[in-house]
Structure 1
Amino acid sequence: MTGARPPAAALADLGVRAGSTLLVHASLRRTGLSAAAVLSALRDALGPDGTLVVPAFTAGNSDTSPAYREHTRNMTVRQLALHRDSMPPFDPTHTPSQGMGLLAETVRCERDAVRSAHPQTSFAAVGVRAAELLAGHAGDCHLGEHSPLARLYAADARVLLIGVGYEVCSALHLAEYRISGAPWREYRCVVLRDGARRWISFKDVDLDDSDFGALGTAFEAHDATLPVPVVRRGRLGLASARLVPLRAAVDFATGWLTGNRHPRRATNHSQIAADFLH
C-alpha cells in the first residue's frame, strides 16, 4: 500500500499503548487492510496486558425496531407470523454480530474471545480484562450503568474510531443514561433459553444517536481549546482514525446532551446503532 504507514506504526503514532483498553469501531473497507492485519496489529500494540473490545450488536431478533417495522410493513397476517417464527433467537455463543463490520465479527470469533450477555447490544472482547469488563451485562440495560460501557468508563478506556465518525460511537450512549428526563420505551426480542425460543420484553432508555455527529463536532471543537488536546488523530491504512478518551467523551456528552436535547416522548428517532437495533 503505497505511502501508508504499517499498521503497527500507525497505531503507535495514534497513541495506542501496551496494556491499555480499547473500544474499537471500524470500517475496514476504508482502510484497504484486511481484518486479520488490523486485528494482529491491535493485539500486538496492546500487548499481553491490554484488552480489545468491539460492539457485537444483533439486530435480527427484535420486533420492536424501526428496521423490523419497515421490513414487515406490507406483510399479511400469515406472512408476519411466519416471519416472526423464523427470526433467529440470540445465542451468545453462536449468533453473529450484525452490521458492526468485519473487524468486530473477527474479534468475536477469536478462540479467546468473551462476549457479554445482552441479547441486542452485546460486546465482544479479547485480552487480559475481557471477562471482567464484559461480566454482568444486565438484560434490561442496553448501554448504561449495568453494561460494559460503564466498566470501560471506570477503566479509563480509549475509543478508537477507524474510518468512521462519532455517529457510530456507542460509548456516547452511556451519556444518555446520565442525563435527567431521558425517555424510556419497551423493547422486545427473541432469545434462546434452555434450548427453546423465548420472547422477552423490557423497558430501557429510548436510545437516540441522531445527534451524535453534531455532538462529536462540538466535542472536538471543545478539545481544540484545551491546553493539551486529548483527541489524537492519524491514519490507519487509507482511512482517517481518532483515538479518544472514553471518559472525556462521555463527560462532555452528558453536559452537551443536557443543554441541547429537548424533552421528547419515547419514539424511534435513532439512526445507526439504535435505529437498526432495537
Structure 2
Amino acid sequence: MEQTSPHTVHSLASDLRRLGLTAGDVVLLHSSMRSLGFVAGGPQAVVQALLDVLGPDGTLVVPTHTPDNSDPAGWRNPPVPPAWWAEIRDRMPGFDPARTPSRWMGVVAETVRSWPDAVRSSHPQVSCAALGRHADEIVGSHPLDDPHGERSPLGAVNRLDGRVLLLGCDHGSNTSLHLAETRQEAPPRSTAGASVLGRYGVRQWLTWDEVVADETDFARLGAAFDATGAVSVGRVGEATGRLMSQRSLVDFGTAWLAANRGAVLS
C-alpha cells in the first residue's frame, strides 16, 4: 500500500505507545530505517520518538557492533588474500568507543551511538550503546570473553527486565538470542581476535576465548516464540513492529535451543 502521509516524531511515538512501549522501559532496539517509510527528520526523528515515549526514566539500547574488526583469516564476505592477514592485524586501527562507527547495524543505531550523552560499551566487536537512566549500568561492563553472556549488556538488560523491539526486521537480527546460547550446557567455544586501544592510546591485537555465536536457526526459534502469543505485533510507520519481554524471549530460547539445536546438528 502506498504511503499516504509522512511519518513524524509525534506519529511514530503514537505507534510505539500503541504497540505497548511505555515510559520507564528499558528497551533493546533492532531496526531497519528503510522499512519505516518516509519519516520527516529521518533517523533523528525515529530516535526522538523513542526517547519521547521512554521518558527520563527509560533507557534505549542499540547494538553498535564492529564485526569487521576481527581476524581476517576468518573473513568470508569477501575473503582477503592470506598474504594480507598479518598486515591487517598489525595496522587495523584500535577500537575506540567514541570514534569507531558501527558496521551493518543500521542508521538508527548509529544515530543513537552519536547522540549527546550516549555511552558505549568497550567490546571491540559487539559493543552496545545506550541512552537514559540505566545506560551506564548496561554498557559499563563488557568483558572480551563474555560478549553475549551474563556479564554483557545483554545480561544487564535481562537483569533489568528489559524488552526487545524489532522494527522492520525479524528474529534473525535478535541479538538477545545469543544470551540463550551462552546458557546452554557446554556451548561450543572458539578463539576470536580484534584490534583495540590499550593504555596511552597504543594499538594492540588481542585474542580471547568465547562462546560461538550462531544465528542460523534464530528465524525458526523466533517463529516458535511468536506462536506463543508473547509478542506484541503492530504497525510502526510502514514497518511491522514486534515488542517482547527479553526475559521471556531468552528463557524460551534457552529451552528451544536445548531441545532443537542438538537434534539438528546430530
Pair in the same fold by TM > 0.5: yes
Aligned to 2:260: 260
Residue range with higher mean Cα deviation, 105-114 or 187-196: 187-196
Aligned to 2:115: 110
In 2: Cα distance, 1:154 partner to 1:54 partner: 17
Q: Which one of 180, 191, 210 corresponds to residue 196 of structure 2?
A: 191
**5 Å matches for 1:145-184?**
145-184=150-189
Q: Which one of 216, 228, 231 corresponds to residue 210 of structure 1?
A: 216
Question: Deviating runs (4+, > 6 A) in structure 1?
Answer: none
Percent identity, aligned pairs only?
45
Residue type of the partner of 1:87?
M
Q: Which one of 24, 27, 45 corresponds to residue 22 of structure 1?
A: 27
Q: How many residues align?
A: 256
Aligned to 1:43: 51
With the length of structure 2 as denominator, give the TM-score of the two structures.
0.91
Alpha carbons 1:4, 1:238 under 8 Å: kept = no
How far 1:111 sits from its partner (Å)? 1.3
The gaps in structure 2 that reach 5 residues or longer are none
Residue type of the partner of 2:68?
G
2:262 match: secondary structure? coil
1:151 match: secondary structure? helix
Does 1:2 find its partner at 2:4?
A: yes
In 2: Cα distance, 1:143 partner to 1:46 partner: 25
Aligned to 1:127: 132
When residues 59 and 93 of structure 1 are mapped into structure 2, their CA distance, relative to the original with a 3 A threshold, is same
With the length of structure 1 as denominator, give the TM-score of the two structures.
0.87
How far 1:25 sits from its partner (Å)? 0.2
Residue type of the partner of 1:131?
D
Q: What whole-Å deviation, never above 9, does each CA across 1:170-210 have from its counterpart, x for those lacking one?
A: 00100011111210010011111122210100001011110
Q: What whole-Å deviation, never above 9, does each CA across 1:95-125 have from its counterpart, x for those lacking one?
A: 1111100010000001100111111111000
Alpha carbons 2:73, 2:82 under 8 Å: kept = no
Structure 1 vs Structure 2 CA RMSD:
1.9
How far 1:69 sits from its partner (Å)? 4.5
